[in-house]
Amino acid sequence: MPGSVITLNRGGCSVDHTDVRDQEEAFSDKKAYLQRYQVRQRPRFEAARSALPLGQVDVAEELRQWFEPLLDRADVMSAGIGGVVVIDYGSDRPEGVAIDFNRRRVEPLEDQQWMHYLKIDRPLLEYCIVHQLEDWVNELFLSFRFRAKRKGPYNEYVYTFFKCLSMERLQYAEGYYAERSSADQFWEAAGYRIQRRCPHLKADLTKFGRIEGGVLTCTMHGWQYDLATGRSLTSEGTTLYCRPLSAISPESDASVSQP
């Protein structure tokens, strides 16, 4: 029950319910229990709402600056969404942004043809921006403090994107999706065929890899690899697949992406 305390000790555990009436009523008269709980919690909820920011940020511009660098790296998710996702935070009339996953742009909401439409109260959206929340799904969506419409079937890539609002999170998800497909798992540079995804957190090395003096550095987190051996110079026991192009048969069917 909300407010119940479980105490663990060597002899076992004990449970203390703050309100015995709640314990009984929750199962015998659930409606009455929920109504009493609502009354008790209302001051807390109202205080939380009144503390939300409003008018502190330029929402459209902040979302553009935040999301566009992520969109630029979200190759798999952008292809999986393949359209426009709208965030409408207007009160009396539509106002918001259109996230175009095809063009990788965040633009003011006008009359764009959308695939997914999210209606979020502006104070909640400003809170996400002010606190740079990286996972809107667990921080916001699971509380049902938004409304949504869609055209077509459910698309997991949409909500995955809103779980991955930092470069580290996004690269991990992109790497996960990429490894489910055999396409474009290698790239060629400096005379080597190289594993495309960094073994650390799956950053795309065609975009984050820098090669100097026979050492590949993943600029996402600074991990380094010796191209001659594939050995990680950052973490013992970690290796990167890399082979000299001269040692690879032309008949190899490995899929290669040219950076």
Contact 151, 115 (CB under 8 A): yes
The per-residue pLDDT for 192 is: 93
Contact 116, 155 (CB under 8 A): yes
Alpha-carbon radius of gyration of the chain: 25
Spatial neighbors of 73 by CB under 8 A, at least 6 apart, are: 167, 170, 171, 174, 204, 207
Indicate the class that CATH gives domain 59-173.
alpha beta
Report the CATH fold assignment for 186-257.
Answer: Rieske Iron-sulfur Protein (2.102.10)
Measuring CA to CA, which residue among 137, 124, 143, 128 is closest to residue 169? 137
> Domain segments of the chain: what residues?
5-50, 59-173, 186-257
Q: How confident is the model at residue 177 (pLDDT cuts 50, 70, 90)?
A: confident
User: For residues 170 and 160, what is the distance between their CA atoms, to the nearest angstrom?
Assistant: 9
**Residue 258 in this model has a pLDDT that exceeds 70:** no
Contact 242, 193 (CB under 8 A): yes
User: For residues 118 and 130, what is the distance between their CA atoms, to the nearest angstrom?
Assistant: 19
**Residue 257 in this model has a pLDDT that exceeds 60:** no
User: For residues 117 and 147, what is the distance between their CA atoms, to the nearest angstrom?
Assistant: 8
The per-residue pLDDT for 134 is: 97
The DSSP line for the chain is: -TT-EEEEETTEEEEE-S-HHHHHHHHH-HHHHHHHHHHHHHHHHHHHHHTS--SSS-HHHHHHHHHHHHHHH-HHHHHHH-SEEEEE--SSS--EEEEETTTTEEEE-SS---SEEEE--HHHHHHHHHTT-S-HHHHTGGGT-SEEEESSS--HHHHHHHH--SHHHHHHHHHHHHHTS-TT-EEEETTEEEESB-TTT--BHHHHEEEETTEEEETTTTEEEETTT-BBSSSTT-B--EEEGGGS-TT----EE--
For the stretch 53-68, pLDDT in tens is 888 999 999 999 999 9
Token pair for 12: 């076992």
For the stretch 195-223, pLDDT in tens is 888 888 778 898 899 999 999 999 988 99
The per-residue pLDDT for 88 is: 98
**Residue 98 in this model has a pLDDT that exceeds 60:** yes
Token pair for 81: 């969404």
> What number of other Cβ atoms are within 10 A of residue 200's Cβ?
20
Per-residue pLDDT, averaged over 88-94, amounts to 93
The DSSP line for 63-85 is: HHHHHHHHHHH-HHHHHHH-SEE
The per-residue pLDDT for 253 is: 47
User: For residues 239 and 259, what is the distance between their CA atoms, to the nearest angstrom?
Assistant: 21
The per-residue pLDDT for 223 is: 93
Per-residue pLDDT, averaged over 158-186, amounts to 86
The per-residue pLDDT for 120 is: 97
